[in-house]
C-alpha cells in the first residue's frame, strides 16, 4: 500500500487525480510516473513528448492511460491527445491502427479493411 508521505507534493497531486467516480490505483500510478520521469519532467509513453502538468486544455496534458482498457493495475503516463486517440483500444490494437492509417495515408496500401474496425475488442459504440 502506498504512503502519501513518500511522495513529493507534485507527484501526490498527480497520483490523487480522480477519474469520474472511481478511486485511482495509487501504486500503479506511482509506477507509471516513475517509468515516465526523465531528467526534467514526465514524458509520454507512446510519443516521447514532454508532458504538461498544469493545463488540462493542453494536448500534452499528463494523463494516465490503461494499456488494456479497464485494467487499473497496468497504466502508463501519456499525453491527453494520445489518450483520446487511443480511446478504448488496447496497446496492440492502437499501434496496429496507427500503422494501418499511416500506410493508407502514404498510399502504400489499399483502404483499411473493415474487419480491423469491427474486430476491436474494447470499443463499444
The domain limits of the chain are 4-86, 87-125
DSSP secondary structure letter of residue 78:
E
Mean pLDDT of 3-25: 67
Q: Which has more confidence, 28 or 94?
A: 94
State if pTM tops 0.85: no
pLDDT in tens, 49-85: 999 998 999 999 999 999 999 888 999 999 999 999 9
Mean pLDDT of 91-104: 94
Q: Which has more confidence, 98 or 27?
A: 98
CA angle 79, 85, 91 (to 5 degrees): 85
pLDDT of 9 reads 73
Is residue 41 within 8 Å of residue 35, measured between CB atoms?
A: no
- State the pLDDT confidence band at 10, using cuts at 50, 70 and 90: confident
Amino acid at each position: 500500500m502506498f504512503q502519501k508521505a513518500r511522495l513529493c507534493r507534485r507527484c501526490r497531486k498527480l497520483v490523487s487525480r480522480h477519474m469520474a467516480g472511481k478511486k485511482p490505483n495509487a501504486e500503479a500510478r506511482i509506477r507509471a510516473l516513475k517509468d515516465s520521469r526523465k531528467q526534467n519532467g514526465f514524458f509520454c509513453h507512446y510519443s516521447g513528448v514532454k508532458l504538461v502538468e498544469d493545463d488540462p486544455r493542453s494536448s500534452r496534458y499528463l494523463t494516465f492511460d490503461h494499456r488494456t482498457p479497464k485494467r487499473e493495475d497496468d497504466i502508463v503516463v501519456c499525453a491527453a491527445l494520445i489518450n483520446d486517440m487511443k480511446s478504448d483500444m488496447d496497446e496492440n490494437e492502437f499501434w496496429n491502427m496507427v500503422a494501418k492509417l499511416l500506410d493508407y495515408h502514404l498510399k502504400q496500401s489499399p483502404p483499411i479493411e473493415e474487419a480491423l474496425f469491427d474486430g476491436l475488442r474494447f470499443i463499444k459504440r
